[in-house]
Amino acid sequence: MVVGKWECNTRNGAIWLYVFTRNRKVSIRDVAGSRAAMFGTWHGEGTDVVYILDRDHTGPIEPKTMRFPVAELEQAVPAGTDPNARWHRL
């Protein structure tokens, strides 16, 4: 299930908070606060989650389309249980 809050530890060490809502909205925020939060919409496409970020806290931005397998979220560990895991459920 995609709807919910997730934390992603990226390969470059940044930690991002993803919030996917039932009405197909997404927000992504750098937990460290060094980058602007981004907002957009999401949908399922086959076995992937596809999200399109089209604005930040100042207004519209150049749209960015990203995707990842839903299986990554399904395999997420509970927050605080494995610091080496890529995805955490909040």
Q: What is the pLDDT of residues 40-77, one digit of tens each?
A: 999 999 999 999 999 998 899 999 999 999 999 999 99
| The dihedral sign for the CA sequence 8, 45, 40, 21 | negative
**pTM of model > 0.85:** yes
Q: 85 phi and psi, to 5 degrees?
A: -70, 145
Q: Where are the domains of the chain?
A: 4-80
4-43 as b/e: b if 16+ CB within 10 A: eebbbbeeeeeebbbbbeeeeebbbbeeeeeeebbbbebe
Residue in the structure block whose two tokens are 């934390």:
7
pLDDT tops 70 at residue 1: no
Contact 37/27 with Cβ under 8 angstroms?
Answer: yes
Report the share of the chain in percent with pLDDT over 90.
79
